[in-house]
Amino acid sequence: MKKRIKRHPFNRRIKRRLRFVYLKIIRLSDPPERIARGVAIGVLMGILPTFGLGVFLSLGAAFAFRANKAAAVLGSMIMNPFTSPFFWGISAAVGSFIMREDRAELLIRLRGADGESILKNAGWLTAVYMTGNVVVSAVFTVISYYLVKIWVSEHRRHKAAKKKAG
């Protein structure tokens, strides 16, 4: 008889995975600025539509900007099957706000329900989406840089205080 493997609930596995990535990042042995720069580059390349090349592009950019390459790869993992719909939706919403387009109208154009072909509307839809995506990417890149820099600095400060005390 086969022994059954006990699996943890899905949300617990997600939390453990996020904690694992967090610990991997804060324990890297580079200055906090380099680690934060790497994560920020990874987040930028992860959110921008790079069509599967985000990891490779983040490695190249990390090399060019002298950032931590491991952090860049970890940062690019922000875009995954669970977060993609969030980033797609928020990019479309921000783009439609900036371009002053009605979101309902965009959905009609996307479906081709307005009588025109989807291909005829593809250029405008792409422009709206990319406008929003660039803004969302920039915002998340800046936020990730400062958050990671603070986390790594705090972790090292806490570690030094603990070493000094004990």
- Average pLDDT on 60-87 reads 93
Please tell me the pTM assigned to this model: 0.83
For residue 16, being part of any structural domain is answered with no
Structural domain contains residue 126: yes
Q: Which letter does DSSP use for residue 4 in this model?
A: P
Q: What is the pLDDT of residue 110?
A: 74
Sign of CA dihedral 135, 139, 142, 148: negative
Residue type present at position 118: I
In a domain, 23, yes or no: no
- Residue 60 resides in a domain: yes
Residue 14 lies in a domain: no
What is the average per-residue pLDDT within 37-55?
Answer: 94
Categorize the per-residue pLDDT at 82 as very low, low, confident or very high, splitting at 50, 70 and 90: confident
Judge whether 95 and 128 are in contact, CB under 8 Å.
Answer: yes
What is the rounded CA–CA span in Å between residue 58 and residue 42?
Answer: 5
Q: Is residue 78 part of a domain?
A: yes
153 belongs to a structural domain: yes
Which residue in 35, 57, 36 sits closest to 45, CA to CA?
57
Structural domain harbouring 110: 33-165
Instruction: Give the pLDDT band (50/70/90) at residue 9.
Output: confident
Mean pLDDT of 51-78: 94
Q: How many domains does the chain have?
A: 1
For residue range 106-163, list pLDDT tens digits in order: 777 777 766 666 777 788 889 999 999 999 999 999 999 999 999 999 999 999 999 9
On whether residue 137 sits in a domain, the answer given is yes
Q: What is the pLDDT of residue 2?
A: 66
